[in-house]
A and B are shown apart, each in its own frame.
Chain A
Amino acid sequence: MAYPQPHPRLSILSTSSQSSTDHFPPSSTRFSLPTPQSRSNASRPNIYDRNLNKTRIAEVSSAAFAFLFSELVQYTQKRVSGINDLERRLNTLGYRVGVRVLELMVWRAESSSKVPKREIRLLPTLMSIHTQVWKTVFGKPADAIEKSVENADEYMIIDNDPPLERHISVPRDMSQLSCSSFTAGIVEAVLDGLGFPARVTAHNTPTAQHPSRTTILIKLEKSVLDREELLK
């Protein structure tokens, strides 16, 4: 059914697509890649010529990210056999992000330092994940960090309202699924990079006050605790 009257919302979209057609040859559609010609005209320089601090305080549209993450979950869901598999794949995708987050975050913090340092102690590393990594990725620190009472090798990072899951409603038949497995992957990559190999998983731990409260569970490998013991 066609509604020829331009709707107020539609008009916003149509003007933006109008202006984008100015840059592309008329044959190209909205989804085609820009031609090499238009790319060379672009004012954005190559990544190697750009300052890595330029986008330090830049923000990403949370709506754009929510749509992207939603597609990412849907794409993954079509290719897995169960919830565990889905969580594992989300973890892997997060890991790829985490590797980059770690390098970029530490570069921004340390590149101007006279003696750049990498963190080698466990507790400061966990604290910097709780604060620095969360701020870099989500724009706010996590809500709590706890040490497991039962197991010496387990730590938990708690987010009362993970921005990643703000728009996600998991159906009842998949209630164990936590899309924060993606975040767990980021944490795993950061720990791995700094030399603290661990298995990181995400779990829903709702409370009455925070229905989407999520716990990121970090289970460290034995070698990590042995090394901490030696460094004491």
Chain B
Amino acid sequence: MSHHLFILSPSDTPLYSLTHYSTKPTPSISSPLSANLPTWSTSAFAGTLTALSGASSATHHTSGGSVRMGGGQDRHVIQMIANASLDVVEDIMKKDGAMYLKSVDRFNEWTVSAFITPGNTKFVLLHEGKNEDGIKGFFMEVWEVYVKAILNPFQTAHTPIRSPLFDAKVRVSAKKHL
């Protein structure tokens, strides 16, 4: 089971990304999360994304991830899904003050969770299973490391984070929570 983390600046430029392969067993998804979401949240991008992933539009609504079509694990598809979810994230954050937005978007086997820092930096995580507490714990730790990173005077809200120490800390958190 893999996780993809993207950190995006307030102007949505990518600052950091991490792919984490979890060794923990995939928890089974009992209820399809997409049922709680407005259908337009995914369908708006369905055309483009299915074209990219090669899946037919019919399979994309199959819940539970039993049918996996196309290259859902392709790097560019992952990025596309993360990017597409930003519109949903931005809609929600205008109305809701919560920093942790759980399962804001769903596409094929991927669920998208997000975290908005006070300075409007976004952490976007693509995950397959349901693991709310783990993801929240992970986001909280990433937030702390991010605050430490931004305290560096050479770091601005718009420059990619290249610190190896930052990377190491995020990886440790990912291992612990995901």
Contact = CB atoms under 8 A, between A and B. Distances in A.
Interface in B142-178: 143-148, 150-153, 156-157, 165-166, 169
A4 B145 CA distance: 51
A116 B152 contact: no
Contacts of B145: 48
Contacts of B153: 96
A149 B151 CA distance: 38
A47 B144 CA distance: 11
28 contacts: A48-B148, A48-B166, A52-B147, A52-B148, A96-B153, A99-B119, A99-B150, A100-B151, A102-B118, A103-B117, A103-B118, A103-B119, A103-B147, A107-B118, A107-B143, A111-B140, A111-B143, A115-B98, A116-B100, A116-B140, A117-B98, A118-B97, A118-B98, A118-B116, A118-B117, A120-B93, A120-B96, A231-B95
User: Size class of A's contact patch?
Assistant: 20 to 34
A111 B144 contact: yes
A96 B117 CA distance: 16
Contacts of B99: 110, 116-118
B148 A47 contact: yes
Interface residues of B, number: 30
Tell me which of A50, A52, A96, A118 has the highest count of chain B C-beta atoms within 10 A of its own C-beta. A118
A117 B100 CA distance: 8
A47 B97 CA distance: 29
Interface string B11-53: 0000000000000000000000000000000000000000000
Contact of A96 (B97, B120, B156, B165): B156
Given A111-B144, A116-B99, A119-B97, A47 B119 contact: no
A104 B151 contact: yes
Given A99-B156, A103-B119, A116-B140, 20 more contacts: A47-B148, A47-B151, A48-B145, A48-B165, A48-B166, A52-B147, A99-B157, A102-B118, A102-B119, A103-B147, A104-B151, A106-B117, A106-B118, A107-B143, A107-B144, A116-B100, A118-B93, A189-B119, A193-B10, A195-B93
Tell me which of B94, B119, B145, B150 has the highest count of chain A C-beta atoms within 10 A of its own C-beta. B119
Interface string B43-65: 00000000000000000000000
A146 to B, nearest CB: 25
User: What are the 8 closest A-B residue pairs judged by CB atoms, nearest first?
Assistant: A193-B119, A106-B118, A116-B99, A117-B97, A120-B97, A107-B147, A48-B165, A103-B147
A187 to B, nearest CB: 14
A46 interface: yes
